[in-house]
Amino acid sequence: MSINYEIRYSNHPSDAKHYDTERIRKEFLAGGIMKTNEINMVYSFNDRLIVGGAVPTRAPLELTTIDPLKSKHFLDRRELGIINVGGTGLVTADGTAYTLRYKEALYLGSGTKTLFFSSSDPTKPARFYFNSAPAHKKFPDKLVTLDNAEVVELGSLETANARKINKLLVNTVVETCQLQMGMTELKTGSVWNTMPPHVHNRRMEAYFYFEVPEGQAICHFMGEPSETRHIWMKNEEAVISPPWSIHSAAGTSNYCFIWGMAGENMDYGDMDAVKPDNIR
- Structural domains in the chain, CATH included, are 2-278 (2.60.120.10)
List pLDDT tens digits, range 74-100: 999 999 999 999 999 999 999 999 999
Q: What per-residue confidence (pLDDT) applies to 265?
A: 77
Give yes or no for residue 232 having a pLDDT over 80.
Answer: yes
What's the rounded mean pLDDT across residues 89-113? 98
DSSP for the chain?
Answer: -EEEEEEE----HHHHTT--HHHHHHHHEE-S---BTEEEEEEESSTT-EEEEEB-SSS-EE----GGG-SSSTTSSEEEEEEE-SS-EEEEETTEEEEE-TT-EEEE-TT---EEEEESSTTS---EEEEEEE-SS----EEE-TTTSEEEEE--TTTT--EEEEEEESTTTS--SS-EEEEEEEPTT--EES-S-EE-TTEEEEEEEE---TT--EEEEEEETTEEEEEEE-TTEEEEE-TTS--EEEESS--EEEEEEEES---TT--EE--GGG--
